């Protein structure tokens, strides 16, 4: 009985190996890994570009708001006892 189980296990292993080879094998896995790493690199570049653009826009916005703040700040009028 144990011999028959060993025989069935070996046949199943051979069939699994053949199915793996037919599906693409290791070459296909390497190609998929390469494509996914290229996609990851492209996403990283896009994220960095967007981060820089966002930082530039926020810097310009801050500069504009600070300029408005300085222009709209009311001047302090001297009180009667102070010299100008």
Classify residue 65: in a domain, yes or no: yes
Give the model confidence (pLDDT) of 29-61 as tens digits: 888 899 999 999 999 999 999 999 999 999 999
CA distance 40 to 30: 15
* Terminal Cα distance for the chain, rounded: 111
Q: Per the structure block, which two tokens stand in for 19?
A: 């199915």
**pLDDT in the model for residue 74:** 65
This prediction's pTM: 0.48
Q: In which domain, by residue range, is 45 found? A: 25-71
Check if the beta carbon of residue 47 is closer than 8 Å to that of residue 54: no
Higher pLDDT, 1 or 28: 1
Residues 6 or more apart from 84 whose CB is under 8 A from it? 78
Classify residue 15: in a domain, yes or no: no
Classify residue 3: in a domain, yes or no: no
Classify residue 40: in a domain, yes or no: yes
Classify residue 4: in a domain, yes or no: no
CA distance 71 to 61: 15
Classify residue 83: in a domain, yes or no: no
**pLDDT in the model for residue 27:** 78
**Number of separate domains in the chain:** 1
Give the model confidence (pLDDT) of 7-30 as tens digits: 999 999 999 999 988 887 777 788
Check if the beta carbon of residue 59 is closer than 8 Å to that of residue 52: no
């Amino acid at each position: 009985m144990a011999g028959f189980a060993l025989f069935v296990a070996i046949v199943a292993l051979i069939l699994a190996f053949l199915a793996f080879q037919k599906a693409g094998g290791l070459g296909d896995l390497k190609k998929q890994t390469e494509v996914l790493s290229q996609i990851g690199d492209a996403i990283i570049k896009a994220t960095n570009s967007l981060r820089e653009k966002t930082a530039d826009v926020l810097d310009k916005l801050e500069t504009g708001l600070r300029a408005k703040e300085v222009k709209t700040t009311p001047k302090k009028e001297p009180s009667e006892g102070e010299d100008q």
